[in-house]
Structure 1
Amino acid sequence: MTVAAAIARTTVVFSALSICCASAFAARPFFTDDARIVDNCQIETFYKEQRTYSGSEFWFLPACKVLGFEITAGGNRIEGDRNEVVQAKFLLKPLETNGVGYALSIGSFGGEPYFNAIGSKSFLNDRFVVHANLGDFRDSGGTWGLGLEARLVGQRIYGIFETFGQHRETPTYHYGLRFWVIPNRFQIDSTLGNQTGAGDRRFFTVGLRFLF
């Protein structure tokens, strides 16, 4: 397995597979998932580049709400290799303002099944929302994530910070900004990240999100 593929497996369960409802503003650029689902449909895409290797990653992740489930069917390209992503997420308890929400997702990335348990907590009328994940890949082992989203300027600019990892891997730290060009319809974002204790594994991402 290439370094790029290994990193992708480490982070996929926290990736933009998790699409949230337009009113709650949690999806990209998080890898950590949240206890929300998309209202109707959305298309999310992002580019990721890492210093450890000369290649790059491109992700394309459309999702729609079907019979109360959020269904994602997309994929990525890593240095010429392609992987399919299929996921279903459903709410156990919807996240409300100043409340707690729970969700569960199951899916497959590159043919490897996984599941992810998700919890979210809103503070100060949604000014801050914390997300926590615990999951597992059938072959690659357990995964975890902890993230914070903060409303910085009005309803348009949000900051994110998170840390996540996988069994026998050192933690990754990831932070950035989300900007709503058209609130609840079109978003752009950019982030920086680094996996600790693993050489030069710094990376950056840029992404777009369309809701319709």
Structure 2
Amino acid sequence: MLIKNHAALRDATDATSKSLGLARLMLALSITLCTLQAHAGRPMLTDDATIVEQCQLESWAQRERTGTRFWAVPACQLLGVEWALGVAKTPAGEPQQYEFSAKTELKTLQTNSYGITAQLAYQFDAGQQQQGDLQLNLALTQSFAADTWLLHLNAGRLHREQAHNDWTAGIALQHEFAANQWLFTELYRENAGRPVYQLGYLAEVLPNRLQLDLSYGNRVSRSGREDFLSAGLAFYFSVL
């Protein structure tokens, strides 16, 4: 387009300034939301009440008495819904489980306030012709002390294909004890009986880009019988 007079040039300059200002605002919002996302999520069993701003890849290894599994779960946000598709494999690379989930915000989490999300997830074992378990989960996250403390609460319903249906519940407390470093503790119930506890450490080694995590868990009062170790990462990125 040709600019034919000074007024048009002035208008174009104003428009450019406004566009730059909007771009800076969107960048700041994106960084803020990415930071909230990095505060929670993996490796907790209890879900957090946020969705990814653009895309992320969560990957981890979990060692149990029955063996080791490697998970990879890419997810992207589209139309206000976080869509995720995951697969668990053996050390030999054979698929063991698949998972698909969709998660959306009912109330956006803000500093010193709370957020609520709803998630629908479906998981099935490899070779089971997509016959698996369906779970509906509601998550609430409360922020305290400028996001240095986060409380996560979950309540859901699990519909099993080959076992009894059951309620699920979780509670987790997360604390930023140093810059870009967090500790968490949680209790999570998925089956009838005693809940699982987990203790973990999270660190953003590349702020808003790469998070590493390490955790230990076990069933309450089942010393060593159902314990597990988990180590993984979360990588945040954009496809645009």
TM range (shorter): 0.7 to 0.9
* Structure 2, unaligned runs of 5 or more: 1-32, 125-131
The normalised TM-score by structure 1 is: 0.84
Q: What is the match of residue 184 of structure 2?
A: 160
Match status 1:26 vs 2:40: yes
Q: Aligned partners of 2:233, 2:42: CA distance in 1, in Å?
A: 8
Segment of structure 1 superposing worse, 191-200 or 107-116: 191-200
* Structure 1, unaligned runs of 5 or more: 1-20
Structure 2 counterparts to residues 1-212 of structure 1, below 5 A: 21-24=33-36, 25-50=39-64, 52-53=65-66, 55-77=67-89, 80=94, 82-110=96-124, 111-139=132-160, 140-154=165-179, 156-198=180-222, 200-212=225-237
8 Å CA contact 2:149–2:173 kept in 1: the answer is: yes
Whichever structure has more strand as a proportion of its residues is 1
Q: Aligned partners of 1:96, 1:210: CA distance in 2, in Å?
A: 22
Amino acid at match of 1:73: L
The normalised TM-score by structure 2 is: 0.75
Whichever structure has more helix as a proportion of its residues is 2
Q: Aligned partners of 1:171, 1:65: CA distance in 2, in Å?
A: 31
Q: Deviations over 1:43-101 (max 9, x none)?
A: 00000012x33x11111100000100000011213585521110000000001000011
Segment of structure 1 superposing worse, 161-170 or 41-50: 161-170
Amino acid at match of 1:158: W
Q: Deviations over 1:176-206 (max 9, x none)?
A: 1111110010111111111124452111100
Aligned residues with identical type, % of pairs: 31
Q: Aligned partners of 1:56, 1:167: CA distance in 2, in Å?
A: 21
Q: Aligned partners of 1:196, 1:57: CA distance in 2, in Å?
A: 22
Query: Number of aligned pairs?
Result: 189
Q: Aligned partners of 1:180, 1:162: CA distance in 2, in Å?
A: 20
| Bigger radius of gyration among the two | 2
Q: Deviations over 1:127-155 (max 9, x none)?
A: 1000000111112411111001110111x
Query: For 2:112, what is the secondary structure of its paired residue?
Result: coil
Task: For residue 120 of structure 1, report the CA deviation from its aligned partner.
Answer: 0.9
